[in-house]
């Protein structure tokens, strides 16, 4: 088995490990490489911490895991506490490494290599049994057609702000070395070779020498919230279809929406709601953020961040102007969000991610695989520029099938 660590170029285990623990330098490299890789792919919590299960750390790093981690805390990594039954301990690279370029180092410790092989087999078995569907295998194969314009990517990397250069260099390095990671989260979200790649660098991607463009859902999270509310409103249920005759080469019927408990929606029982109608109207034309910008006076990035953090998944009782504005403008929508989240601030976000995966991965992508190049990125599908019209048609067909239309945005390469 060959295993390559992807590390900050200036990281040296000997700087942190004691003389006794230097024998386990590869364990330190594995931990730092894992944190670097997951950070690059945005597999982090809102504070940029990678959540790692202590059981996996012990299985891979062995009995010396605690000592190695303790040494790395002296300047290489930062650790946030775990919450019993809720989240694992969080790990984050020290800021000194974020502006670094990456370095690829092969693993040499035979014990670590053996443990990594066992852990990979365990992970693959768990994922393949519970999450992988035929479309996932097809999408994994599709991404292997990707290449990258190395010279253009290098120039962009050098121009990036220091705090993001390392993570972007990691993703570019994987593409340059024809490494195509593919995993599926518990919400169905797909993480592939371009997850986390900055927009500037996506313009350097190629398939068959052709640049890529994308089609995605405008204001994706508000749009998915509207879809989630529609399927929980008795007067506006979604219409399903048993099959779809053109889905090849990965046959995939238009399956029912994910089954989740329906929270109470007072407005549905009380009759028509002006705030629900206004929200649905703004979402349908992709202008919710613009409305909140008008009401709050903030710019779009600030409004978008505050909507995701303070409206959809607020944790705590801190004041938020965007939250107050949204609650005043759309009281019934706010009540729905509050009912879903209950005692878990992340419940709605998980539902929306599951709905997003159902829509893009399970419904739209199968209509395209085998006909046009397809690379998914959460709510977006990338393809060669000449095929973007076909991608839009696939989205529109799914919207017709579920009797719910959202606004799309096309971006050429």
Q: What is the pLDDT of residues 319-363, one digit of tens each?
A: 999 999 999 999 999 999 999 998 888 899 999 999 999 999 999
Q: For the chain, what is the radius of gyration of the CA atoms?
A: 23
Examine the pLDDT at 369 and tell me if it is beyond 60: yes
Q: Both 185 and 333 in a single domain?
A: no
- Tell me, yes or no, whether 113 lies in a domain: yes
DSSP assignment letter at 213: E
pTM for the model stands at 0.82
Nearest to 44 by CA among 76, 80, 85, 18: 80
pLDDT score at 84: 66
Q: Both 365 and 282 in a single domain?
A: yes
Residue 334's domain spans which residues?
217-381
- Let me know if 48 is exposed, middle or buried by CB neighbors in 10 A (0-12, 13-18, 19+): middle
Q: Which of 37-46, 83-92, 275-284, 397-406 has the lowest mean pLDDT?
A: 83-92
Q: Which residues pair with 210 in a beta bridge?
A: 207
Examine the pLDDT at 275 and tell me if it is beyond 80: yes
Q: How far apart are CA 163 and CA 51, in angstroms?
A: 20
Q: Both 284 and 374 in a single domain?
A: yes
Examine the pLDDT at 262 and tell me if it is beyond 90: no
- Out of 89, 105, 128, a domain closes at 128
Report percent pLDDT > 90 for the chain.
Answer: 73
Task: Label residue 243 by pLDDT band (50, 70, 90).
Answer: very low
- Out of 196, 216, 236, a domain closes at 216
- Tell me, yes or no, whether 27 lies in a domain: yes
Q: Both 189 and 119 in a single domain?
A: no
pLDDT score at 128: 62
Q: Both 221 and 366 in a single domain?
A: yes
CB contact at 8 A, 148 and 172: yes
Q: How far apart are CA 362 and CA 184, in angstroms?
A: 13
Which residue's structure tokens are 């703004």?
282
Q: Both 124 and 247 in a single domain?
A: no
- Tell me, yes or no, whether 316 lies in a domain: yes
Q: Which of 72-86, 142-156, 304-318, 376-390 has the lowest mean pLDDT?
A: 72-86
Tokens of 114: 């053996």
Give the DSSP H or E segment for 70. helix 65-72
Q: Both 90 and 189 in a single domain?
A: no
Q: Both 233 and 305 in a single domain?
A: yes
- Tell me, yes or no, whether 209 lies in a domain: yes
pLDDT digit string, tens, across residues 107-142: 999 999 999 999 988 887 776 667 889 999 999 999
- Tell me, yes or no, whether 39 lies in a domain: yes
pLDDT score at 125: 76
Q: Both 260 and 175 in a single domain?
A: no
- Out of 81, 113, 128, a domain closes at 128
- Tell me, yes or no, whether 166 lies in a domain: yes
- Tell me, yes or no, whether 190 lies in a domain: yes
Averaged confidence pLDDT in the chain: 87
- Tell me, yes or no, whether 297 lies in a domain: yes
Collect contacts of 278-284 with beta carbons under 8 A, ≥24 apart: 278/329, 278/330, 279/222, 279/226, 279/330, 279/333, 280/226, 280/230, 282/222, 283/219, 283/222, 283/223, 283/225, 283/226, 283/406, 284/226, 284/405, 284/406, 284/407
The domain tally of the chain equals 3
pLDDT score at 252: 39
Mean per-residue pLDDT for 165-194? 93
Q: Both 180 and 239 in a single domain?
A: no
CB contact at 8 A, 196 and 40: yes
Q: Both 205 and 272 in a single domain?
A: no
Q: Both 113 and 28 in a single domain?
A: yes
């Amino acid at each position: 088995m060959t295993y390559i660590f992807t590390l900050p170029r200036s990281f040296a285990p000997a700087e942190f490990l004691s003389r006794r623990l230097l024998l386990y330098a590869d364990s330190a490299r594995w931990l730092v490489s894992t944190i670097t890789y997951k950070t690059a792919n945005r597999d982090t919590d809102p504070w940029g911490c990678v959540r790692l299960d202590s059981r996996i750390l012990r299985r891979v790093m062995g009995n010396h895991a605690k000592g190695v981690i303790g040494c790395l805390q002296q300047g290489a990594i930062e650790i946030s506490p775990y919450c019993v039954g809720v989240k694992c301990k969080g790990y984050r690279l020290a800021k000194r490494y974020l502006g670094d370029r990456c370095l690829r180092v092969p693993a040499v410790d035979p014990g670590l290599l053996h443990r990594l092989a066992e852990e990979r087999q365990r992970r693959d078995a768990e994922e393949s049994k519970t999450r992988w569907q035929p479309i996932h295998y097809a999408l994994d194969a599709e991404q292997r057609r990707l290449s990258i314009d190395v010279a253009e990517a290098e120039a962009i990397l050098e121009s990036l702000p220091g705090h993001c250069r390392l993570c972007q260099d990691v993703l570019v390095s994987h593409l340059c070395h024809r490494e195509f990671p593919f995993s599926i989260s518990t919400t169905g979200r797909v993480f592939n070779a371009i997850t986390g790649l900055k927009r500037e660098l996506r313009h350097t991607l190629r398939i068959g020498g052709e640049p890529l463009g994308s089609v995605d859902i405008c204001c994706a999270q508000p749009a998915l919230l509207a879809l989630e509310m529609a399927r929980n409103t008795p007067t506006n249920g979604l219409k399903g279809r048993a099959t779809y005759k053109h889905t090849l080469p990965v046959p995939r019927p238009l399956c029912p929406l994910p089954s989740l408990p329906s929270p109470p929606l007072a407005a549905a029982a009380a009759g028509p709601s002006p705030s629900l109608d206004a929200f649905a109207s703004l979402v349908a034309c992709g202008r919710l953020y613009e409305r909140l910008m008008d009401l709050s006076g903030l710019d779009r990035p600030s409004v978008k961040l505050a909507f995701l953090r303070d409206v959809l998944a607020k944790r705590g009782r801190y004041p938020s102007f965007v939250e107050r504005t949204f609650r005043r403008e759309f009281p019934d929508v706010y009540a729905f969000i509050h009912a879903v989240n209950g005692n878990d601030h992340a419940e709605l976000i998980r539902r929306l991610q599951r709905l997003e995966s159902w829509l893009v991965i399970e419904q739209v992508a199968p209509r395209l695989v085998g006909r046009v190049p397809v690379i998914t990125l959460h709510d977006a599908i990338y393809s060669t520029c000449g095929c973007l019209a076909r991608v839009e048609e696939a989205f529109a067909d799914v919207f017709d099938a579920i009797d719910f239309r959202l606004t799309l945005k096309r971006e050429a390469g």
